[in-house]
Structure 1
Amino acid sequence: MKLAKQWREETRGLSSINQMCMHPAYQQIIGMGEAVIPLLLREIANKSGRWFWALKSIAREDPVPFEFRGNTKEMTKAWLEWGRQRGYECY
């Protein structure tokens, strides 16, 4: 995905999640809506990027239990399970 590549390249040195998620390419990805959910799930499965905010914004829900927030591995598992339960093809 061209926008994801652009976002990764242009936010590489940032440490602020807010700045990363407010980047124009990230916002354009969110604007694509549900059609990009499989791509974002694949991104987190393969590269573990910072796509949780985008997924939460698009899906309008958050499957990550409170105790796992901040734990990338557990957050990834929760989102991938969420995707499987909803029939998203992301692998």
Structure 2
Amino acid sequence: MTAELRDSGSAGTYDTTHQSFSSVAYGKYAPSTPDYTTKFYSHLKRWRYETLTSSSADVIVKNQAFRDIVDMGDVILPLIISELRKRPDFLIVAMALITGQNPAKPSQLGDIKAMSQAWIDWYDYQR
């Protein structure tokens, strides 16, 4: 059996008696779940956007997207370190919550840039 199909500029005659190769070989399309990298950057983008105008550390680290980052666990440590290398920020708190560590010296407390560097050094030493 053949059918004449005309649709938005395309035209042709197609054999409708056989299944297409893709439907036979691959089955139905099923979207895959996002990988952890995609999830991390999605949470990070949302967290930064939602806390952009906040100067309160409490608001910044109690944000749901931030909690979602922490909940991802140690698999994202390399991603956090990569971000800290580019831009020191409150991701240092996520590092502390995920690892249970605090490599910053007492003299560095409150200095986001110095604390970020302490985490970078800690991570590089661990590897």
Same fold flag (TM > 0.5) = yes
Partner of 1:10: 50
Percent identical residues: 26
1:27 aligns with 2:67: yes
Counterpart residue type for residue 16 of structure 1: S
Q: Which residue is equivalent to 1:37?
A: 77
Instruction: Give, in whole Å, the separation in 1 of the partners of 2:114 and 2:55.
Output: 21
Q: Which residue of 1 aligns with 2:122?
A: 82
Give CA-to-partner distance per residue, 1:30-79, whole Å, 9 cap, x none.
Answer: 00100111111111110212111110000101000111111122112211
Show structure 2 runs of 5+ residues with no match. Answer: 1-40
Tell me what 2:94 maps to.
54
The one-letter code of the counterpart of 1:72 is: I
Q: How many residues align?
A: 87
* Structure (1/2) with the larger helix percentage: 1
Higher strand share: 2
Task: Kindly report structure 1 stretches of 4+ aligned residues shifted beyond 6 Å.
Answer: none
Q: Which amino acid aligns with 1:44?
A: L
- Please state whether the residue corresponding to 2:104 is helix, strand or coil: coil
The one-letter amino acid paired with 1:9 is: Y
User: Helix, strand or coil for the counterpart of 1:85?
Assistant: helix
Structure 1 unmatched runs, 5+ = none
Query: What TM-score do you get using the length of structure 2 for normalisation?
Result: 0.66
Question: Rg larger in 1 or in 2?
Answer: 2
TM-score, normalising length from structure 1?
Answer: 0.90
Q: 1:45 is aligned with what amino acid?
A: R
RMSD over aligned Cα atoms: 0.9
